[in-house]
């Protein structure tokens, strides 16, 4: 059960079941861009920051309509899975892990730390020394340049057919991406809102937002330096831009996941405890509503901010 009230800030993570499939090549990036733009167009959310790695995606967003969050992720995952499976020649195969992680961020400090973690993740994972050099898809360049609107091609499932073995390389991916993009006449507008999370916490003055963004960049640099020191101590190196771009689609890789899903994020224990108590009480209320729905009583509304289940079937229509 997830709590997504209007105006809340969420730190979301989507993970693949297996494989290295969200690569830095033009074909994978075209899929990600198209699916994100299409999902935002159908089910608007305010995306603030995001980074895509080969096995997972991190993003920070602000909720507009609580009902849109589940639908947004469902649309993105469904469309991207069909397109990637089309390239791989697979049918009726799941691509994404069930659900997604989306703890609500309760304080502005914790939101800033979550965004810094997101952008420092390529350095932490030994992919590149800095987000500046990371070739995978991210919102970093849009954020730093201030050019927050992009027009991306709308791609369709039938365009994605199995890629031949001799084309399973960077040259083949690039050629296929060019063909698919040229074949599409539809264009979608995607808008990044990097300051929306600040507005959610009441920071609306442009000067104040600029100072917070400067602190954010400084903290990202700090995390990247820590990752570099750790690599030096362990005598490791990054994969590097060239190797990342040249990676081929790999369905055999099994991600090693650690950690647990959280309900909320806050650096203040009292705030976390208070929210957890509130959320547990809200879940009890939701369970009571569902029980009444099962009995046919729909007069009680589902608690706002929670995604209601499908209405139960109380009878079947009999055909003649």
pLDDT digit string (tens) for 127-174?
999 999 999 999 999 999 999 999 999 999 999 999 998 999 999 999
Instruction: Domain of residue 284: give its range.
Output: 268-320
- Cα–Cα distance, 24 to 136 (Å, whole number): 4
237: its two tokens: 């190196």
Residue-wise pLDDT tens digits, 29-45: 999 999 999 999 999 99
Residues 156 and 274 in one domain: no
Measuring CA to CA, which residue among 15, 138, 9 is closest to residue 73? Answer: 15
DSSP H helical ranges for 94-169: 108-124, 140-145
pLDDT at 92: 82
Is 2 inside any structural domain?
no
Residues 280 and 184 in one domain: no
- Domain stop point among 267, 289, 312: 267
Measuring CA to CA, which residue among 37, 40, 45 is closest to residue 64? Answer: 45
- Cα–Cα distance, 200 to 202 (Å, whole number): 6
Strands (E), the chain: 9-15, 46-52, 56-62, 104-105, 149-153, 187-191, 264-265
Is 4 inside any structural domain?
no
pLDDT at 2: 83
**Inter-residue contact 83 to 177 (CB < 8 Å):** no
Residue 310 pLDDT class (50, 70, 90 cuts)? low
Is 98 inside any structural domain?
yes
23-25-27-28 Cα dihedral, nearest 10 degrees:
20
Residues 209 and 291 in one domain: no
pLDDT at 68: 93
Residue 95 phi/psi, 5-degree rounding, is: -115, -40
pLDDT at residue 260 tops 60: yes
pLDDT at residue 306 tops 90: no
Give the end-to-end CA distance of the chain in Å, rounded to a whole number: 40
Going by the DSSP 8-state scheme, the letter that residue 17 receives in this structure is S
Residues 164 and 302 in one domain: no
Average of pLDDT values for 206-219? Answer: 97
Q: How many structural domains are present in the chain?
A: 2
pLDDT at 258: 64
Residues 141 and 254 in one domain: yes
pLDDT at residue 292 tops 80: yes
- Domain stop point among 248, 267, 286: 267
Residues 308 and 272 in one domain: yes
Residues 191 and 291 in one domain: no
Is 294 inside any structural domain?
yes
Residue 15 pLDDT class (50, 70, 90 cuts)? very high
pLDDT at residue 259 tops 80: no
């Amino acid at each position: 059960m997830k709590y997504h009230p209007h105006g809340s800030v969420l730190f979301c993570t989507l993970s693949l079941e297996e494989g290295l499939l969200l690569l830095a090549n033009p074909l994978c990036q075209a899929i990600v861009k198209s699916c994100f733009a299409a999902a935002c167009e159908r089910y608007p959310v305010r995306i603030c920051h995001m980074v895509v790695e080969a096995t997972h995606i991190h993003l920070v967003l602000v909720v507009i309509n609580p009902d849109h969050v589940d639908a947004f992720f469902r649309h993105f995952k469904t469309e991207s899975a069909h397109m990637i499976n089309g390239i791989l020649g697979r049918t009726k195969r799941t691509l994404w892990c069930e659900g997604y992680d989306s703890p609500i961020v309760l304080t502005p400090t914790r939101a800033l730390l979550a965004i810094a973690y997101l952008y420092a993740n390529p350095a932490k994972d030994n992919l590149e020394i800095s987000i500046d050099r990371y070739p995978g898809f991210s919102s970093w360049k849009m954020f730093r340049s201030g050019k927050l609107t992009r027009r991306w091609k709308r791609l369709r499932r039938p365009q994605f057919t199995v890629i031949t073995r001799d084309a399973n390389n960077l040259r083949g991916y690039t050629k296929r991406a060019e063909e698919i993009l040229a074949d599409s006449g539809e264009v979608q507008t995607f808008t990044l809102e990097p300051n929306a999370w600040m507005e959610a916490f009441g920071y609306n003055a442009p000067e104040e937002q600029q100072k917070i963004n400067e602190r954010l960049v400084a903290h990202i640099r700090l995390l990247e330096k820590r990752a570099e020191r750790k690599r030096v101590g362990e005598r490791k190196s990054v994969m590097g831009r060239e190797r990342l771009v040249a990676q081929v689609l790999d369905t055999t890789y099994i991600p090693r996941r650690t950690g647990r899903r959280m309900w909320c994020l806050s650096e203040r224990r009292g705030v976390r405890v208070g929210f957890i108590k509130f959320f547990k009480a809200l879940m009890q209320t939701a369970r009571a509503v569902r029980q009444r729905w099962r009995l046919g009583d729909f007069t009680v509304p589902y608690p706002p901010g929670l995604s209601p289940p499908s209405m139960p079937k109380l009878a079947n229509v009999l055909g003649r």
